[in-house]
């Protein structure tokens, strides 16, 4: 006898998204003593996976990763959706809430195609479509040239193998979840900062659905939640859009949170850094850091943030 489905879980259909959905299902089943059939997966090909020849910022931004799942969630076709939190817009509909943040995986980026940034050959062609990765690279290695690389992890590795670029960046978390943890070389966060919420899986549900919220609470990881809430608070305070190059990393350190952030001009020529230590939950400290970063930024950087005079 199999259990009838207890939770309907929406996910994008990409291999990485499916791996994340399987991890979420496994954690739910372990926490509640369910068998696999208790969690029914609802995969969808997201708009963001369909148009691959233009930068995400041009075609609608991060909303394209969640559009279809948001509709299903709002209509009650599914009880919850699994997302890479770094792909989820900072401002979400009031009707939804982040019911669980799973234990965060490796937060770092990996460089594939060279063993370090210093080892990239002079004027190397590097594939990425993330403004943060492009600007951060050009800041450290202004001789390099950036070409657009979109598509899922396998597509990007395929483009690299086909010689479309000499190197690319991929999130360590994504590679590990795809069983490709040995690919590339992790970049030290002292040299290279990841994206806000990188490595975090979020499970979203309806804010008025107490039953699902209770089921998801069992797999929520409070330390990971504290980190990503701080990183997302920085994004919200900066008001950055898809075009802005924001790198941020928050870690637990000695009972406090340590947050480091950098803003870049799109060409990487300018960079503004900041770092703070604060008590978890003191998001006011993060807002002050955002104001401080912007006050030290050039007009070229500030132009990328909304709400600035
Ligand atoms: N933008 C695509 C995306 N969204 C989440 C991940 C990896 C998993 C994660 O960072 O949580 C990736 C691939 C990548 O950036 O290499």
In terms of domains, do 213 and 256 share one? Answer: no
Asked, for residue 258, whether it belongs to a domain, the answer is: yes
CA angle 162, 163, 164 (to 5 degrees): 100
Average pLDDT, integer, range 273-302: 95
- Total count of domains within the chain: 3
Asked, for residue 308, whether it belongs to a domain, the answer is: no
CA–CA gap between residue 281 and residue 105 (Å, rounded)? 21
In terms of domains, do 25 and 174 share one? Answer: no
Q: Which two tokens stand for residue 166?
A: 């000499």
52 — phi, psi (to 5°)?
Answer: -115, 5
Pick the residue whose CA is nearest to atom 11 on ligand 1: 199
pLDDT band per the 50, 70, 90 thresholds, residue 63:
confident
Asked, for residue 214, whether it belongs to a domain, the answer is: yes
The confidence score (pLDDT) of residue 2 equals 58
- Is the pLDDT at 14 greater than 80? The verdict is yes
In terms of domains, do 77 and 212 share one? Answer: yes
- Residue in 16, 18, 112 to alter for ligand 1 test, most ligand atoms within 8 A of Cβ: 16
Pick the residue whose CA is nearest to atom 6 on ligand 1: 174
The confidence score (pLDDT) of residue 107 equals 98
Average pLDDT, the chain: 94
Instruction: Map residue 48 onto helix, strand or coil.
Output: helix
In terms of domains, do 260 and 278 share one? Answer: yes
CA–CA gap between residue 289 and residue 258 (Å, rounded)? 12
Query: What is the DSSP-derived secondary structure letter of residue 37?
Result: G
- Is the pLDDT at 308 greater than 60? The verdict is no
- Residue in 84, 180, 200, 248 to alter for ligand 1 test, most ligand atoms within 8 A of Cβ: 84
Ligand 1 atom with the smallest distance to the CA of 85 is: 11
In terms of domains, do 210 and 81 share one? Answer: yes
In terms of domains, do 208 and 94 share one? Answer: yes
Interface confidence (ipTM) of the complex: 0.94
Ligand 1 atom with the smallest distance to the CA of 130 is: 1
Nearest Cα neighbor of 260 from 280, 274, 239 is 274
Average pLDDT, integer, range 61-83: 94
Q: Can you give the CATH number for the domain in which 210 is found?
A: 3.40.190.10
In terms of domains, do 139 and 209 share one? Answer: no
The confidence score (pLDDT) of residue 306 equals 65
Average pLDDT, integer, range 248-271: 96
> What is the distance, to the nearest Å, from the Cα of residue 15 to the centroid of all Cα atoms in its chain?
16
Question: Greatest CA separation found in the chain?
Answer: 65
Q: Which two tokens stand for residue 28?
A: 């739910």
87 — phi, psi (to 5°)?
Answer: -95, 0
In terms of domains, do 97 and 113 share one? Answer: no
Instruction: Map residue 258 onto helix, strand or coil.
Output: strand
pLDDT band per the 50, 70, 90 thresholds, residue 170:
very high
Asked, for residue 293, whether it belongs to a domain, the answer is: yes
The confidence score (pLDDT) of residue 3 equals 60
Nearest Cα neighbor of 103 from 214, 284, 278, 252 is 252
Nearest Cα neighbor of 10 from 34, 31, 39, 32 is 39
In terms of domains, do 204 and 97 share one? Answer: yes
The confidence score (pLDDT) of residue 271 equals 96
Range of the domain at 85: 7-101+200-220
Nearest Cα neighbor of 142 from 268, 231, 228 is 268
Is the distance from the beta carbon of residue 150 to the nearest atom of ligand 1 less than 6 Å?
A: no
Asked, for residue 46, whether it belongs to a domain, the answer is: yes
pLDDT band per the 50, 70, 90 thresholds, residue 50:
confident
The reply to whether 79 belongs to the active site is: no
Is the distance from the beta carbon of residue 87 to the nearest atom of ligand 1 less than 6 Å?
A: yes
Pairing state between β 167-171 and 125-127: parallel
Q: Which two tokens stand for residue 218?
A: 């069992």
The confidence score (pLDDT) of residue 60 equals 79
Q: Which two tokens stand for residue 238?
A: 């900066």
CA–CA gap between residue 135 and residue 129 (Å, rounded)? 10
Cα–Cα distance list, 26 to 82, 89, 98, 106, 286 (Å): 13, 26, 18, 19, 34
| C-alpha neighbours within 13 Å on the C-beta side of residue 176 | 16
- Is the pLDDT at 1 greater than 70? The verdict is no
The confidence score (pLDDT) of residue 34 equals 96
In terms of domains, do 215 and 294 share one? Answer: no
Is the distance from the beta carbon of residue 173 to the nearest atom of ligand 1 less than 6 Å?
A: yes
Cα-to-centroid distance, 84 and ligand 1 (Å):
7
Catalytic residue among 49, 70, 79, 87: 87
The confidence score (pLDDT) of residue 307 equals 52
Average pLDDT, integer, range 39-46: 95
| CB-based burial label for 253 (10 Å; 0-12, 13-18, 19+) | exposed
Cα-to-centroid distance, 3 and ligand 1 (Å):
33
In terms of domains, do 253 and 278 share one? Answer: yes
Ramachandran category for residue 131: left, alpha or beta (phi over 0 → left; psi -120 to 50 → alpha): alpha
Ligand 1 atom with the smallest distance to the CA of 109 is: 16
Is the distance from the beta carbon of residue 110 to the nearest atom of ligand 1 less than 6 Å?
A: no
| CB-based burial label for 307 (10 Å; 0-12, 13-18, 19+) | exposed
Pick the residue whose CA is nearest to atom 9 on ligand 1: 199
Lowest mean pLDDT among 57-71, 124-138, 143-157, 185-199: 57-71
In terms of domains, do 14 and 95 share one? Answer: yes
Q: What is the pTM of this model?
A: 0.94
Query: Tell me: the pLDDT tens digits for 188-224?
Result: 999 999 999 999 999 999 999 999 999 999 999 999 9
CA–CA gap between residue 114 and residue 120 (Å, rounded)? 6
- Residue in 82, 173, 201 to alter for ligand 1 test, most ligand atoms within 8 A of Cβ: 173
Asked, for residue 195, whether it belongs to a domain, the answer is: no
The confidence score (pLDDT) of residue 48 equals 79
Q: Can you give the CATH number for the domain in which 265 is found?
A: 3.30.160.40
């Amino acid at each position: 006898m199999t259990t009838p489905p207890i939770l309907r879980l929406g996910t994008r259909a990409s291999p990485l998204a499916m791996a994340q959905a399987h991890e979420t299902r496994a954690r739910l089943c372990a926490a509640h003593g369910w068998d696999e059939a208790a969690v029914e997966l609802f995969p969808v090909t997201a708009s963001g996976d369909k148009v691959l020849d233009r930068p995400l910022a041009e075609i609608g931004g991060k909303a394209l990763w969640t559009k279809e799942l948001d509709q299903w969630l709002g209509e009650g076709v599914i009880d919850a959706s699994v997302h890479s939190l770094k792909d989820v817009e900072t401002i979400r509909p009031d009707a939804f809430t982040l019911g669980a943040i799973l234990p965060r995986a490796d937060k770092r980026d990996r460089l594939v195609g060279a063993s370090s940034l210093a080892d990239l050959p002079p004027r190397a062609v590097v594939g990425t479509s993330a403004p943060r990765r492009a600007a951060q690279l050009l800041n450290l290695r202004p001789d390099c040239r950036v070409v657009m690389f979109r598509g899922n992890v396998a597509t990007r590795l395929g483009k690299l193998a086909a010689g479309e670029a000499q190197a690319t960046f991929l999130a360590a978390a994504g590679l590990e979840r795809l069983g490709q943890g040995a690919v590339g070389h992790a970049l030290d966060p002292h040299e290279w900062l990841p994206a806000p919420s990188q490595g975090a899986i979020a499970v979203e549900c309806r804010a008025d659905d107490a039953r699902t919220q209770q089921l998801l609470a069992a797999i929520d990881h409070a330390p990971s939640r504290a980190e990503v809430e701080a990183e997302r608070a920085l994004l919200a305070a900066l008001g950055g859009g898809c075009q802005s190059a924001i790198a941020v990393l928050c870690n637990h350190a000695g009972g406090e949170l340590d947050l480091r952030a950098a803003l870049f001009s799109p060409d990487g020529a300018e960079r503004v850094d900041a770092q703070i230590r604060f008590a978890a939950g003191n998001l006011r400290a993060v807002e002050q850091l955002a104001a401080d970063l912007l006050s030290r930024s050039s007009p070229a950087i500030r132009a990328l943030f909304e709400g600035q005079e």
